[in-house]
Amino acid sequence: MEIVRIDRRGEARSSEGVELLVWGIDIEGERFVEQARAQNISLSGALLTGLNAVLRSGDVVGILYSGQKARFRVVWVRYNGVAGPVQVAVHRIEPDLCPWRELLPTSEESFQSNVRD
């Protein structure tokens, strides 16, 4: 039996990973600035990997990519061990613009991709 994964998100996404800078305040109230990698990027969010800062859902972080800044709210956090790096799903806060929008397929390209699949 083959399991088919259905993606209910309506936005175009790119699986391309990008290096970026993340800053904010961790759960201890300490400021942090770290390099991380964003994957599964869309206009409204991304999955961040490689962070060492301890965050929780609802926290706000800043992201700098290619000279563009935006604020994002933490949606969920997945810890990899006691003191290892974490995965963080983030959602962009309006009215900030998406810093990686030029990497995303246009709606036409996204439609053509879905038709072929």
- Determine the structural domain holding residue 70 and report its residue range: 18-97
Is residue 5 in some structural domain? no
What is the model's pLDDT at position 16?
73
**What digits encode the pLDDT tens for the residues 52-104?**
899 999 999 999 999 999 999 999 999 876 666 689 999 999 999 999 999 88
The tens digit of pLDDT for each residue in 2-28 reads: 544 444 456 666 667 899 999 999 999
50 is a domain residue: yes
How does residue 46 score in pLDDT terms, banded at 50, 70 and 90?
very high
Does 111 have pLDDT greater than 50? Answer: no
Which residue from 39, 37, 53, 45 is spatially nearest to 86, judged by alpha carbons?
A: 53
Report the number of distinct structural domains present in the chain.
1
